[in-house]
Structure 1
Amino acid sequence: MKVDILVAEIGSTTTVINGFVGIGSSCPKFIGQGQAPTTVLEGDVNIGLKNAIENMRKNINTDEITYDKLFATSSAAGGLKMTVHGLVYDMTARAAKEAALGAGANIHMVTAGKLRRTDLKKIKEIKPNIILIAGGVDYGERDTAIYNAELIADLGVDAPVIYAGNIENQEEIKLIFEETNNKLYIVENVYPKIDELNIEPTRKVIQDVFEEHITHAPGMKKVHEMVNGSIVPTPGAVMLSSKLLYESIGDLVTFDVGGATTDVHSVTEGSEEVNRILISPEPKAKRTVEGDLGVYVNMRNIVELIGKENIMSSLGMDGESLDEFLDNHKPIPETNQEKDFVELLTKEAAKISLKRHSGIFRDLYSSSGKKKVAEGKDLTNVKYIVGTGGALTRLPNRLNIIKDILESGKGNEMFPNKDCKV
């Protein structure tokens, strides 16, 4: 069978392939999907990609699959390790962090102010794939970013550096790094004015660097030669899709529960009422990533959060049976009991992730009395919830999982309305 486009998502746990026909016509059509375990450990992700295409061939009951174009997203190289260094945490450091997360990076360190010896030691231990330096509004404070840049340049870490701080420092930063092996990217300030975020230029550069890094996954260079266009970081692709969907249907939240992480993406400006009492600005498009909440690689973290007693009660197991069950946990559940277990993990991971992503209402007390303020991302205007990732697209009770998550708030969270369409 000839298809117009195959789209591959080469994840940390699972490789998924989707086929489309009628692209460019008034009625494009999704024709089927296949999946297989990702084969990084086997030394070549192409094995998993071919297995996923073969699985799709069987699912749509055809003799063979040929295609015009192949597009790919991936997180199979372990993602993009980043460190972020700004001036004030709630301002430039936070803006830089939002840019990095929105691009699909995994942030391993965030610092505010001048770097210390312990910070430099940690940067060397992390061995980041990219370092982001920010600091100072345009034509504001200059010294901290220059000081940090000089220390990082002397560190000898072989990683590209993005400078996204005070534009007055740009020529100085170029001089600092001209004698180093660090590839330098100069972009617009992520925090050009007080309470103004400008994160899109930095996001774009981070994604460009990711494409260079992702070829290091075993066999990924071959995939890179096969695909049309860039290999996009999977979280970045989810964010891009969410933003495109927002243009058609309005405010939304996307849950992506994966084997290694759980990501939440939101595209909303929030309500006018909440914006009036918001302490600090939030990006319209925001991503948070929970690196400790994955239903396969980080499964045991979620087990600890739920509690083994609760899992034994839900699955009808004793302690010994549960331990054996956990030791043999598979990337793709097959039996009903395995699916029930992954549903428990998925619900807990998504519930915690939403709480960490969402803002809260709280009371401030001063000499003039009590004042209600909002802090963090306002999701109260959200009308749609999107589920993606293997867990929220394939588990039998996926819709109920999302509905239960929306009802898990205690009242002070700025959660989406319980009546959101899923």
Structure 2
Amino acid sequence: MDAYLLLDFGSTYTKLTAVDIENEEILAAAKDITTIEDDIMIGFNKAYKKIEEQLEGKEVNFVRKLACSSAAGGLKMVAIGLVPDLTAEAAKRAALGAGARILKVYSFQLTKSEIEEIKNSNLDIILLAGGTDGGNKECIIHNAKMIAEHGLNVPVVVAGNKTANDEIQEIFDASGTTYRIAENVMPKLNTLNVEPAREEIRKIFMSNIVEAKGLGNAESFVQGILMPTPAAVLKAAEALSLGTDEEDGIGDLVVVDIGGATTDIHSLADGEPSKAGVTMRGLEEPFAKRTVEGDLGMRYSAVALLEAAGTRKLREYLGDKERKIDVAGSCEYRYNNIKMVPETHEEIAFDEAMAKTATELAMSRHVGTVECTYTPMGPIYTQIGKDLLPTKYMIGTGGVLVHSENPHKILEAGTYNKADGIYLKPENPKFLLDKTYILSAMGLLAQELPDMAVRIMKKYLVSIG
């Protein structure tokens, strides 16, 4: 039978999924520790051996082998714009949607100290934006000169005021800077245009970054490492939400991805006000939006999660009214033992309390808020960000959710709460679980066989709660 082998070289685990493309079934799935420090193929070969054992006795022909990766720290970027709340924010959203981890966002004209900070930040790509088309171009040209003059040996995606592009090309050509020009991420005030920049980032990831991260050995086996893993998850979510010409989507959805270092939220919804009398304010929101919370993780960021939430929040989810549990010590232990697997009832309960806390805080940061201002004409309601109240589905992925006996309880922590009513979180969603870790694999499959990817997700995402 003909099959696709879909690979995710993750920061912790390398995950393999074999898909029968004739019967649209998952034939096998396996994972093993990612071995980026030595040779990434060592971990891959261990996982592949598990796949072969599961397929023993079956004649399987892998006609395509596609991969994504977040190994070696994933795709690290800085975003540079003009105004913090506008072009700098637009650049940040473009980079996040491309699957990047944002190290920092810079605004206005770069200083020498900021350039030195960028130079020493071990990043992979710079996204240079600034100005609407026909607007301010002095700032982005100044920043291009700073990048060129200080010898930043990093690829640059230029996605700002188009009237500055000719001069920026001359600057970068003269300095030998590697760059790509994309359409402006904000061509008009408060109007986003992030897809062209995302595509250029993906191209650089494929052509420049893969080899630099020690993934070159894998390229001899696969037909290409197509994108960062978070971009693959967003691609899968988008396909599932919108559907294709031949396959209906399921509508608006949110994906909650809880990992050891971060909690990622992906929302697929226009986010327009769902209540009458509410007006929008601020930067336009993308339909496919991703946010990354680097201080909300189960292991690498366990101490940061405690600092972000406070002990009271964790004790609430633990039901520890008498303060018997050493919350700080438990977080510290996980931070120092990143490969810890909870075994006792107490360890499992603590991990789930952390997951609920991460979900609640990450969703609060991702969704829009509504504010009420009282005027002589009566109250005025203003929305900033996405209204996700009517979202149909919340999908959970990540080890703590997959291994939980009550994963819907973790996802419920990210839903609408009247006590915190300004946050426009999903009000009454249905819960689905990515039990077999297929979302990143389906994002890869959707690049070539989108109809099939949607059908397989409908088939294998498990309804919970």
Same fold by TM-score, threshold 0.5 exceeded? yes
Matched ranges for 1:177-188 at <5 A? 177-188=172-183
Q: Who is 1:292 aligned against?
A: 295
What are the equivalent positions in structure 2 for 1:37-56 lying under 5 Å apart?
A: 37-41=33-37, 43-56=38-51
Structure 2's unaligned 5+ residue stretches are: 243-248, 433-465
Instruction: Show the counterpart of 2:11.
Output: 12
Post-superposition shift, 1:235? 0.6
State the partner residue of 1:402: 411
Partner of 1:386: 395
Contact 1:295 1:342 in 2 (8 A): yes
Structure 1 residues 413 and 323: CA distance shift in structure 2, 3 A? closer
On the 8 A contact 1:6/1:67 being kept in 2, the answer is no
Residues 186/55 of structure 1: CA separation in 2 closer, same or farther (3 Å cut): same
Partner Cα separation in structure 1 for residue 372 and residue 424 of structure 2: 14
State the Cα deviation string for residues 134-157 of structure 1 (Å, max 9, x = none): 111111221111111111111111
Distance in 2 (alpha carbons) for counterparts of 1:38 and 1:65:
28
CA gap of 1:64–1:156, structure 2 versus 1, over 3 A, is farther
| Conserved 8 A contact 1:86-1:113 | yes
Matches within 5 A, 1:3-402: 4-21=3-20, 23=21, 25=22, 27-41=23-37, 43-57=38-52, 60=54, 62=56, 67-68=61-62, 69-211=64-206, 212-218=208-214, 220-247=215-242, 248-273=249-274, 277-280=279-282, 281-304=284-307, 305=309, 307=311, 310=315, 313=320, 322=330, 326=334, 329=337, 331=339, 333=341, 335-337=343-345, 338-364=347-373, 370-402=379-411
1:84 Cα deviation (Å)?
1.3
In the TM superposition, residue 49 of structure 1 has moved relative to its aligned partner by 1.7
| In 1, Cα distance between equivalents of 2:328 and 2:381 | 50
Indicate how the Cα distance of structure 1 residues 335 and 153 shifts in structure 2: closer, same or farther if over 3 A, else same.
same
Deviations 1:113-170 (A, max 9, x none): 1222332232122142111111111112211111111111111110011111111111
CA contact (8 A) 1:57 1:64 kept: no
Q: Identity across aligned pairs (percent)?
A: 34
1:290 is matched by which residue type in structure 2?
E
RMSD between aligned alpha carbons? 2.9
Q: Alignment partner of 1:40: what SS?
A: coil
Shift of 1:323: 8.0
1:365 deviation in Å? 5.6
Moved more, 350-359 or 397-406: 397-406
How far did 1:313 drift?
A: 4.7
Inter-CA distance 11–186: structure 2 relative to 1 (3 Å threshold):
same
Moved more, 221-230 or 303-312: 303-312
Say whether the 8 Å CA contact 2:158–2:182 is kept in structure 1: yes
1:418 paired with 2:428, answer yes
Deviations 1:204-261 (A, max 9, x none): 111122222133334x211122112333201100111111011111111111111221
Q: Distance in 2 between matches of 1:361 and 1:114?
A: 33
Change (3 A) 1:328 1:229: closer
Distance in 1, matches of 2:223 and 2:99, equals 20
Q: Number of residue pairs matched?
A: 415
TM-score by length of 1: 0.89
Unaligned residue ranges in structure 1 (runs of 5+): none
Distance change in 2, residues 1:368/1:85 (3 Å): farther
Task: Indicate the larger mover: 110-119 or 402-411.
Answer: 402-411
Contact 1:57 1:65 in 2 (8 A): no
Helix, strand or coil: the match of 1:6? strand
The residue identity in structure 2 corresponding to 1:299 is A
